[in-house]
Amino acid sequence: MVAESLDSEKAINSLTRINRFFYSLLNPFLYRYHARNDVELSALQHAARRDLPGVIEHLVDAGVSLHSREAWFGYSFYRRSKYDHPIVLAANSSHANVMETLLDKEELTSGLTERHFSDIPEER
């Protein structure tokens, strides 16, 4: 397949935009590519900022983890706030549809443990 020989998410995305046939054929491949490869911009964060719950669904179904370091920090060389997780971005932007989609994903809450909350200050 031609898309497999391309070396970037941007190149694959360009190919999906040729026509509807290519889009329907390659869009699922593009989500799987994102799930398997490091990219500069986290699609999870992009979808949360722009109120795109369908994109969140496709990414999680393709294997993107909601607990990965990239979900919290993105793929930046710069130090980012810990609160860049898609659910926080969606909440800050009042994107209820994205928040609902994320909360409906069992993976988001099933893997949480005490250590995920260890740096939250206790109330006095």
pLDDT of 50: 94
Q: Are residues 29 and 57 in the same domain?
A: no
- Between CA 90 and CA 97 the distance in angstroms is 9
Domain count, the chain: 2
pLDDT of 19: 92
Q: Are residues 33 and 52 in the same domain?
A: no
The answer to the question of residue 18 being in a domain is yes
Residue among 42, 72, 73 at smallest CA distance from 59: 42
pLDDT in tens, 22-71: 888 888 888 888 777 755 457 888 899 999 999 999 988 888 877 766 66
Range of the domain at 24: 1-37
- Between CA 77 and CA 29 the distance in angstroms is 26
Q: Are residues 64 and 96 in the same domain?
A: yes
55 contacts: CB under 8 Å, gap ≥ 6: 43, 46, 47
- Between CA 50 and CA 93 the distance in angstroms is 9
pLDDT in tens, 67-115: 766 666 655 545 555 557 788 888 889 999 999 998 888 766 666 666 6
- Between CA 82 and CA 31 the distance in angstroms is 24
- Between CA 90 and CA 96 the distance in angstroms is 7
